[in-house]
Amino acid sequence: MIQSVDATAEHLQAARGITGSPDLVLLPESIAHVEGPIGQTSVGARFADPARRLGTNLVVGTTEAEGRDRFRNASILWGPEGNLLGRYEKHHRVPFGEYLPMRDPVEPLSDLTRLVPRDAIAGHGPAVLQPRSTPPLGIVISYETFFPDRVAAAVHAGGQLVLAPTSASSFTGRDVPAIEVAASRLRAGEFGRTVLLAAPTGYSAVIRPDGTVADLSGLGTRELLTATVPLRTGLTPYARTGDTPVLVLALLVLMASVGVHAIRRRAV
């Protein structure tokens, strides 16, 4: 939604425009950068304030440096009392964006280490956040939207909607943000869940469980999207089986094609 040198201050300012008593406020990926766990910093206290003022659950994307060469990409959940309730750390890291594959042999030979000075630590644990007095929230971060297995993990862990905080600020055009919206629409339809996409430079979106876009921000504009969205339980056929039926069908078609070709060769 916002592009700024100080993304933390800009998003906190935007949060001041929120009124009423929302159940959830979702802010984008990587809008706060801190050394060490955010709960032990003054930045964390700044995000606790709007959660407490609104009496809401607030999810904020952070990067937390760990030593000189590693960091964590996490979404942190603050509860209505301004207390930390949980966190999700990104599992699928972006190669050459969030980590450098085979860093040790590549480092002496390439300038890539200047572009990727630190490696993200791969997250572990369930892809859900559990607010107080609110159903479980599935969550994926940015690039993970392209992986059905990550959304499947969120849904199977009980997520009744899917949060998708992202940061496409490295891309100045509309292509990558538009692809993220398209991927989020696929995931919504596949798993029958609302997907909430929040980005600092756009697009942010509210996507219904059937994959339709209920609301979409502009690109690079400050906007606050508000919506009442359905919560869903249960599993769609795709959530139960994944890609297995399609892969089996493709294998059968391939085997049939090979068989027909072999029969024709023998006939000749």
CB 51 within 8 A of CB 57: yes
H helix intervals, the chain: 7-15, 42-54, 103-106, 112-115, 148-156, 175-191, 237-241, 244-267
Q: pLDDT digit of tens for each residue in the chain (268 aa)?
A: 444 458 899 999 988 889 888 999 999 999 999 998 998 899 999 999 999 999 999 999 999 999 888 999 999 999 999 999 999 999 999 998 898 888 877 777 677 777 788 899 999 999 999 998 789 999 999 989 999 999 999 999 999 999 999 987 666 678 889 999 999 999 999 999 999 999 988 799 999 999 999 999 998 888 899 999 999 999 999 999 988 888 888 888 988 888 887 788 777 6
Q: Which of 63, 93, 92, 65 is nearest to 75 (CA)?
A: 63
DSSP 8-state assignment for residue 186: H
Q: How far apart are CA 176 and CA 184, in angstroms?
A: 12
Nearest to 23 by CA among 171, 187, 135: 135
Given the structure tokens 């089986």, which residue do they identify? 241
Task: State the Cα–Cα distance between residues 64 and 29, nearest whole angstrom.
Answer: 12
